[in-house]
Amino acid sequence: MASVTFDHATRTYPGTERPAVDALDLEVADGEFLVLVGPSGCGKSTSLRMLAGLEDVNSGRIFIGDRDVTDVQPKDRDIAMVFQNYALYPHMSVADNMGFALKIAGKPKAEIRQRVEEAAKILDLSEYLSRKPKALSGGQRQRVAMGRAIVRQPQVFLMDEPLSNLDAKLRVQTRTQIASLQRRLGVTTVYVTHDQTEALTMGDRIAVLKDGVLQQIGSPRDMYDTPANVFVAGFIGSPAMNLGDFNVQDGQAVLGSARVPLTRTTLDAITPEDEGRIILGFRPEALDQVPEGQGGIPVSVNLVEELGSDAFVYGSLAGDKELAEHLGSGEDSSQIIVRCDPRDTPMKGDTIHVQIKQGEQHVFSSATSQRLPV
């Protein structure tokens, strides 16, 4: 096993001015499950391919353990990659697919058979070893691709959106299996996904990228409770955090009739560059319904989503339509999301008033989008 280190690693594709990955500084501990997450085009897959040796590193270095692998061929890096599209040989059986890399490496047949059978037992594939990929379900094919990586016994697993081709229920089941398997094997794993729910449920730590730049790295709880900037706040969490552009007046954040008290610590952190404005964030579950007239945020209900154990109200800031565009969620900049009691939900067209629970607001600089103390 080994750690992984990106030391100011940069990748700029020919014909482009902006790097796809810009000076990535990241360390993955030995045995850790790290998830790289971000929207399409943020550089997460490029980072993984740089580690695999499939993309050149234009500047900076990459280490696996204490070994500089920046210019080492992919086959000599002692890594195993699981691809989004499984990449199985259709004419080979499951056993042959799983053992193919060992066969190419010249391993004895008895050792290949032993390793394949061990991996198949771990992945519950023992009864499918003689089948061809076309006779398997999507989840089984994904497990075969995992098995092919496991039999290699590499220092590092690389996984590039391995669940994106599975249906929703199977995706939930398989992500649990992958996370459990990684903890059982203890192999350092770098996992790429655009799905922040996968990131929160699977990773020991999460690294969030945007436009090739690392935004924040930390535990799932760190990401959820203390996002470093507006982008991370709006990206991490499902449903997304509500974010609004508020004026600061008399120690309060003000938007229309909404009034949110600010702490002295927050007020002292506001700079002249903010021009008397802040960005206020609050999660759907951080809101309490209050009677009208208590300074709460008025929300006009557009839709109620009932999920059995939970219910979510989707609405907009009631009153001035121009002001409504200044408050929304990370998913939709003009739509507020409120979690409410599933046995006492408002009706479409109602107006409810909500207040942020004590200590559960997030404050960001209007000028820099960086987190301010609360």
Query: Using one digit for the tens of pLDDT, what is the confidence trace for 325-356?
Result: 788 887 777 789 999 988 889 999 899 999 99
Picking from 219, 255, 272, the residue whose alpha carbon sits closest to that of residue 336 is 255
Give me the chain's average pLDDT, please: 91
pLDDT at 258 over 90: no
Q: Determine the Cα–Cα distance for residues 24 and 55; give it in Å rounded to an integer.
A: 14
Secondary structure element (H or E) that encloses residue 189, with its range: strand 188-193
What are the φ/ψ torsions at residue 322 (nearest 5 degrees)? -65, -40
* Domains of the chain, CATH where assigned: 4-233 (3.40.50.300), 241-372 (2.40.50.140)
pLDDT of residue 214: 97
Signed CA dihedral, 213, 218, 224, 228: sign only: negative
Residues 219-237 have pLDDT tens digits of 999 999 999 999 999 999 9
> What distance lies between CA 149 and its chain's CA centroid?
23
Could you count the other beta carbons within 10 Å of the beta carbon of residue 28? 24
pLDDT at 20 over 90: yes
**Amino acid residing at 60:** G
pLDDT band with cut points at 50, 70 and 90 for residue 303: very high
| Coil, strand or helix at 235 | helix
Q: What percentage of the chain has pLDDT greater than the value 70?
A: 99
- Tell me how far apart the alpha carbons of residues 328 and 299 are, in angstroms, rounded to a whole number: 11
How far apart CA 365 and CA 374 sit, in angstroms, is 12
How high is the pLDDT of residue 144?
A: 92
Q: What is the reported pLDDT for 190?
A: 97
